[in-house]
């Protein structure tokens, strides 16, 4: 039961990230991005910052949706266990990459 909730939760979270990415691209509203490391008023390249966050949000959203689907498939079909293990590793690295980009690369748009 817990695996089902986690899988569906990751699918919903991934869809919300994908929705955020396209909403950000469509509206060009930087306030949609919640990053305490960057002050919105000090951003010099607003279009670059929007593209930067669009790519991050879209990538993380796709990875989370895939993770949710594969974890659900692995729960009900044992042949997906190896694929689920690989997807776990990819998801962990993607989350660390996301944190790195938000903490280190995003503040460079203020300089």
* 32-52: average pLDDT: 78
Extract the tokens encoding 7: 């899988």
- Pick the range with the lowest mean pLDDT from 26-30, 35-39, 82-86: 35-39
pLDDT at 1 > cutoff 90: no
Provide mean pLDDT across the span 7-34: 88
For residues 33 and 102, is the Cβ–Cβ distance under 8 A?
A: no
Chain centre distance of CA 66: 12
- Check whether 34 has a pLDDT greater than 80: no
Name the DSSP letter for residue 105.
I
């Amino acid at each position: 039961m817990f695996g089902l909730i986690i899988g569906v939760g990751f699918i919903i979270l991934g869809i919300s990230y994908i929705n955020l990415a396209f909403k950000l691209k469509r509206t060009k509203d930087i306030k949609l991005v919640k990053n305490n490391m960057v002050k919105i008023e000090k951003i010099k390249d607003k279009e670059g910052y929007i593209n930067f966050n669009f790519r991050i949000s879209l990538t993380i959203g796709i990875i989370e949706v895939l993770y949710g689907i594969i974890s659900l498939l692995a729960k009900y079909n044992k042949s997906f266990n190896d694929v689920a293990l690989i997807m776990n590793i990819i998801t962990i690295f993607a989350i660390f990459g996301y944190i790195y980009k938000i903490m280190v690369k995003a503040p460079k748009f203020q300089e």
